[in-house]
Structure 1
Amino acid sequence: MVLNKKIWVAVGFIIVAFTSILVYARLHNEQSVTANTYQTWQKTFVTRQSDQATYVNAGVDGKKMAMSEAQGLGMLITAQAGRKGWASQTDFDHLLAYYQQNRLVVANQQTHLMNWRQRDVKGAWRTDAHSATDGDLYIAYALHAAASVWPKQATTYNTLAKTIAADILRYEYNDQQQLLTVGDWATADTAAYRVMRTSDVMPSVFTSLAELTNDQRWGQVSDSMLTKLATLSKQHKTGLVPDFAVVTKQGVRAAKAKEVATKQDGHYAYNAARVPMMLADSSDHRAVQINRRLMHFFDQQTQILAGYTVTGKALHKYESNVFSAPIFYAAQSDADRYGKLYKTGATIYNRSVAQQPYYDATLTALVAVGGFKND
């Protein structure tokens, strides 16, 4: 009897030890994969402009191009990598310096918004003035995240984030509908004033900026834009939402082809692809329900393809991490509910980010470092 008891104790010890080894190996492997993803992205896309300034190169075919969206995502990736010990404050400050050097001027006054694009044209660095709201939101949020990563600079980073947030509400805000416009060029005297980019619905970012600034308008923006996005989600049984929506007297509808930017305006395409990621960290019941509808649709697909009509017809026959990475990020928030999407989504790391276009690689790197979590 005593001998049997000792045997069972020994067996139990071996099982516990073996399980612990497996768990450690899995976690260690995941960390190695995600760390390598960040490091490869950093070496591939972060480009030196000067001794003190770097930008995220969003160009194609060997051409160089910077964008506020790319810069904001790059700053957030770097701050989150810094949280894990993979990036330095200097890495972040060099990206910050490039943003500071490329701020938008409106009516001869320099704002804290970023010029939406800079590109190499026949050897000359040309700036396309005007702003893009998503990039400005990312930059502000990245600064707030950096404040918690490098607390000695918290005051400086948070003060700048507050100033950017104030300029977003000054130049990129429709106060009639309490929603963010797509950029400073979408003024009250244009039809674009009523256009909403669905991926600009960022409830966790809005909550962060509301707490940082004590400006109640951020809560109003979050409430208004989430309500409109929920309406769009319910317009089709797929739950899919379009890249852009237009607010009308009757409510809100998907944009028509080329009504805003491209023929994909009314589809779940390269802007709307970010929506699952933007909503994943929010506890607001509308955000949760929108994402559940989206995730249910994708859970029924044999593979996730690069875009869909809002009724669920695939736009392309190929896959893209632009679509897969945000879905994988959302699946991580509830792996029990979205087990299939979580397991298949991990394939986003199968192909090196060095072999992917900027957008695919950058969203993959953002997922690898922890996305929009600010803890």
Structure 2
Amino acid sequence: MKRYRYQWLTVGLVILVASAIGVAIYDTKSPASTPGVGSAIIEKRYQEWKKLYLQGNDQQKFVKTNVGKKDQTLSEAQGYGMLISVMAAKQGFGSQKTFDQLTRYYVRHQISENNPLMAWRQNQDDIAMVSNKAEKTSATDGDLDIAYALILADEKWGSKGELKYNQLAKRLLTAIQNQEINQRTHLPKVGNWATMSQNENLVRTSDLMTAYFRKFAKYTQDSRWNKAVQNSQIILKKLSSQHKTGLMADFVTVSGERLQLGTVKPKQVASKYDNQYGFNACRIPWRVAYDYQISNSQVSRKIVEKMDDFFASQKRVTAVYSLSGKPLEEYENTAFTAPIAYAAQVTLNSELKARYTKKLTARITADDYYPNTVQMAALLTSGSIGQ
């Protein structure tokens, strides 16, 4: 669509008024106008993923995260599973039955009757899946995906059945806001266990899910989520500007109402790559591009496009980078390439689309839960472009 230098006076007045009251004036380069990956290939991959990774019985199912004989799962995985199943249903090939099976498992493994956050890990004990005392704490990323999936389910099917998605979502969001959101920074903590001075300011950068926070604000009418949107974008902009690559570390610290940034050390939280672009931060292109897809946020667009430019400059994308762009591993991993491929779909980066769409649509394999499940979630999100 061409832009004309001279517009009708009434159009100009509308723009002036909209700008004055803070209404977004959308750029004509809208991701919603671009078709995503075809539905047939997405459905095929979904059936592969479902067969390989969903375990349980007719009442409850979970996403298996290990390759051992005894099953293990994580709240992170349950969040992905619920998100994947409801997005598949929205695209015409998933079922409410599958979503409900996953939801019942979540409900069964809440931290307690009074705390709807999900226990972060369960292991198989005979025929039961159980959490020990140390595992009855939370991981914020899993809870955020579960809450978002419940809202999508309420929008898709309503909440008049056995499982009241709206009640589950609002109860969970209250707990997230009270236990997993830093009340000074309004940013997500890494879990409800992060209450001490040395860890309460830790932020998993891939948890800055502005698309989710927008939805939570509208769904609950709780204005604190708007503050989470605002501050998340402030931090993402700061982190993006620190390096020419636009890459961000798996974890950072953010403190005080002025949102002072700090760094973490290797192995301070999860791995030797805590302060590098590793297996947590690799999800950022997916999470931030999704915000651009649904809200047309120009802040999100610029952040993703800067990362796009870096990855387009690489002959191949390997797992784990320093923030300056040095590959720290020689092997490839779909957890890194699939989010980049999806982001390229959203930002209309033809070079990255041509190079990595095959990675996004590749066959789902049984070798590793994490990259295959991130791929499935990103692929389904790609399928929602233009809906």
What band does the TM-score fall into relative to the shorter chain? 0.7 to 0.9
SS in 2 for 1:252: strand
- The residue that corresponds to 2:118 in the other structure is 114
- Paired positions, count: 342
Unaligned runs of 5+ residues in structure 2 are 1-34
Alignment of 1:262-277 (within 5 A): 262-277=271-286
- The residue that corresponds to 2:90 in the other structure is 83
CA contact (8 A) 1:37 1:349 kept: no
1:253–1:371 distance in 2 versus 1, CA, 3 Å: farther
CA contact (8 A) 2:321 2:328 kept: yes
| More helix, by proportion | 1
Unaligned runs of 5+ residues in structure 1 are 1-26
State yes or no: 1:150 paired with 2:150: no
1:28–1:344 distance in 2 versus 1, CA, 3 Å: closer
Identity %: 35
SS in 1 for 2:146: helix
- The residue that corresponds to 1:286 in the other structure is 299
Instruction: Point out which structure has higher relative CO (alpha carbons under 8 A, 6+ apart).
Output: 2
CA contact (8 A) 1:130 1:183 kept: yes
Say what the alpha-carbon RMSD is for the aligned residues: 2.3
CA contact (8 A) 1:72 1:142 kept: yes
Counterpart amino acid of 2:334? N
CA distance in 1, matches of 2:335, 2:70: 21
- After superposition, the C-alpha distances for 1:64-92 in whole angstroms (9 at most, x for unaligned) are 11111100111010001111221111110
CA contact (8 A) 1:68 1:136 kept: yes
The more displaced of 78-87 and 242-251 is 242-251
- The residue that corresponds to 1:11 in the other structure is none
- The residue that corresponds to 1:299 in the other structure is 312
Counterpart amino acid of 2:124? D
State yes or no: 1:135 paired with 2:148: no
- The residue that corresponds to 1:5 in the other structure is none
The Cα of 1:152 is off from its aligned counterpart by 5.7
SS in 1 for 2:261: strand
CA contact (8 A) 2:185 2:255 kept: no
CA contact (8 A) 1:281 1:373 kept: no
- The residue that corresponds to 1:309 in the other structure is 322
CA contact (8 A) 2:65 2:370 kept: yes
Q: Normalised by the size of structure 2, how large is the TM-score?
A: 0.83
Counterpart amino acid of 2:328? L
Q: Normalised by the size of structure 1, how large is the TM-score?
A: 0.86
CA distance in 1, matches of 2:128, 2:106: 19
The Cα of 1:365 is off from its aligned counterpart by 1.2
Which of 333, 347, 354 is the equivalent residue of 1:334? 347
The Cα of 1:344 is off from its aligned counterpart by 1.5
- The residue that corresponds to 1:7 in the other structure is none
The more displaced of 306-315 and 279-288 is 279-288
Alignment of 1:56-75 (within 5 A): 56-75=63-82
- The residue that corresponds to 2:176 in the other structure is 168
CA distance in 2, matches of 1:133, 1:266: 19
CA contact (8 A) 2:36 2:345 kept: no
CA contact (8 A) 2:247 2:277 kept: yes
1:298–1:349 distance in 2 versus 1, CA, 3 Å: closer
State yes or no: 1:251 paired with 2:263: no
CA distance in 2, matches of 1:143, 1:365: 18
- The residue that corresponds to 2:269 in the other structure is 260
State yes or no: 1:354 paired with 2:365: yes
